[in-house]
Structures are given as C-alpha cells and as structure tokens.
Structure 1
C-alpha cells in the first residue's frame, strides 16, 4: 500500500522565509524545510497499481504555470489546534489545478471526499490529538501575531508524493513530477 498526496513543492528560495515564520513556535512540531509543500489533494493509501493509474491520469493534466501568493498564518482545528499553517490565496489557476487533480484521481478510481479546498502550507503539526487549552491559545496567538507574513513564488510543476509515517513525523518521497505549461488559459 502507498500513502500519497499531490502537491506543489515549495522552492528552496522561499523555504527560508517559511522557516523564519516558524521562529518562536510555542507548541507543536515544526515541519522541516524538505517537507514543506502546498497540498493539492490528499489521496490516501492505495495499492501500487491504483497509484500507477493515478500517475497516468495526472500526466494528462494541462494547466498553466502560476504565481502562488502566501499570506498570513492560521491555526486549524475546532477547539484543539491540529496544525499551524501559512494560507495560500486561492487564485483561479490554483482552484482549477486542484479540481483537475481531484478529477484525475477520481477517473483513476479513487473515491475522494467532496470538501472545500483550503490551500495552505503546514508549518507545524500538533499530533493526532491536537493542542488544547493553554497550548491552543498560544498557537492561535502566535498565528495572529504573524498575520502579516507574505511570500510568493512561481509554480512550474506539481508532484505526486509518497508519505511514510514515522515516530518523528512523516517523510516524503516524490514519485513523479508534472510540468505546468507557460501557455495562458482562455
């Protein structure tokens, strides 16, 4: 079984800005630079042949290169904070790419949940139970103090990523990279 997701990688030129935004994190486990990404769709765990089918479907996507705008921090979770993230602006091109990725995965046979896409880059995780009480308040305050965070980059590809779960957190392996085109959509 392969646990995987589809994402836009964070360029090495932008990662230092994101790592700086983690400074002073009052709780949770910071995400290392090599694991930073903007998720397009979490696919779950599937047998290798199914992931191959997804790969072939993703290879058919034609989408333009796009500027990705990162703006402000947020603490996700109702009551308990599950993660701290940097929000991404949901541009028309990003929304279309997300929809294309989900459609490709469904055409390959995956049953993905129909949920609203909230683009973000996770910068800290708070474990399976999340942070509560004083830690949750500190994380929400941390995110509010860093609301002015801004960064941007040009996305020229997206990737299919394998996720390995471990005691010290997940590690990732790129399985395939798919280019975005320089052509503009009409």
Structure 2
C-alpha cells in the first residue's frame, strides 16, 4: 500500500525562509525544509493500481497557473493544546478551485471525502504536549513572503521511517 497526497511543491527560497522560523520550543518537532509543501488533497493508503489510476486523471488537470503567497501563521487544535503549527497562504480563489476540481476527479477512484472545509497551510511543526504558542504566533503574525508561481502539482508519496516522515514526488503534472 502507498500513502499518497496531491500537493504543491514550494520553491527553495520559500522553504529556506520558512525554515528560519524554526526556534527552540520544548514541544515542537519542526519539519525540515525538504518536508515543506502545501497539501491539496490527502489521499491516504491506496494500492499501486489505485495510485496508477489516480495519476492518470491528474495528467490533464484543468485550471490556469496562478501565484501563491505565504502569509501569516496559525495552528490547529485548542489554544491551550495546539497540535500543528502552520504557515498560511493569502486568499487565492484559483487555489480553492484547483483543490475542488482535483477532489472531484479523485473521489470516484477511492479518495475519502474530507468533512472539514479546506484550509490551505504549510505544516511547520507538530506540537507535543500541547505547549502554548502565543509568543511565536505574535512574533510571526505579519509573516509575508513574496508570491511565487504555481505551474504544476505533484503526486506525493509519504514514507514513515526512523527519521520521521519523508515525502517524495512520484509524478508532476502541469497546470493547463
């Protein structure tokens, strides 16, 4: 079984800028620059045959290229017990439209629908023990990186190992 998701690769300049946000925090397990990406659709565990069929429907992804801008920081979880620290993106209608088109193409092939609304984000760290993040959030509330072009998406493989989770792009698909 393969653990997959569809996402957007970040330029090295964006990855390096986000990596600089890393700071000592007793409960944070920071993602390295090589792990930073923006997930569009989490697929989960699928067979190699399902993965092949999913890749086929991604070949001619409809939708224009667009620009994406990393902006702001936030977290998932309760304020007293945050679980994930993330960087957000500026409101980009074309991003939401792309995510919805991809979901519509992948649902018939076994993608499990997500009951939550799509919240585009770049996971920076996982937080253990629910340590408060208010100081970090205040320091980086005005985070704003230069916009970058998005001209393709990737089908990512997620692998767990001794060194944590690693992501590998199996295939890239140009936006038309």
Same fold per TM (> 0.5)?
Answer: yes
Richer in strand (by share): 2
Q: Is the CA contact (8 Å cut-off) linking 2:76 and 2:84 kept in structure 1?
A: yes
Pairing partner for 1:153 from 104, 128, 148: 148
Q: Is the CA contact (8 Å cut-off) linking 1:75 and 1:140 kept in structure 2?
A: no
Q: Is the CA contact (8 Å cut-off) linking 2:70 and 2:90 kept in structure 1?
A: yes
| 1:13-162 alignment, distance < 5 Å | 13-78=13-78, 79-126=80-127, 130-132=128-130, 135=131, 137=132, 139-151=133-145, 152-162=147-157
Residue 24 of structure 1 and its aligned partner are, at CA, apart by: 4.2
> SS in structure 1 opposite 2:11?
coil
Q: Is the CA contact (8 Å cut-off) linking 2:71 and 2:144 kept in structure 1?
A: yes
- Number of aligned positions between the proteins: 174
> SS in structure 1 opposite 2:169?
strand
> SS in structure 1 opposite 2:38?
strand
Residue 140 of structure 1 and its aligned partner are, at CA, apart by: 3.3
Q: Is the CA contact (8 Å cut-off) linking 2:60 and 2:173 kept in structure 1?
A: no
- Structure 2 gaps of 5+ residues are none
Deviation readout 1:27-65 (Å, 9 max, x if unpaired): 311111111101101101011101111111111312111
Cα distance in 1 between the residues matched to 2:33 and 2:124: 9
Residue 167 of structure 1 and its aligned partner are, at CA, apart by: 3.6
Q: Is the CA contact (8 Å cut-off) linking 2:152 and 2:174 kept in structure 1?
A: yes
Residue 75 of structure 1 and its aligned partner are, at CA, apart by: 1.8
Q: Is the CA contact (8 Å cut-off) linking 2:61 and 2:174 kept in structure 1?
A: no
Cα distance in 2 between the residues matched to 1:3 and 1:51: 9
- Structure 1 gaps of 5+ residues are 182-186
**TM-score, normalised by the number of residues in structure 1:** 0.87
Runs of 4+ more than 6 Å apart: none
**TM-score, normalised by the number of residues in structure 2:** 0.91
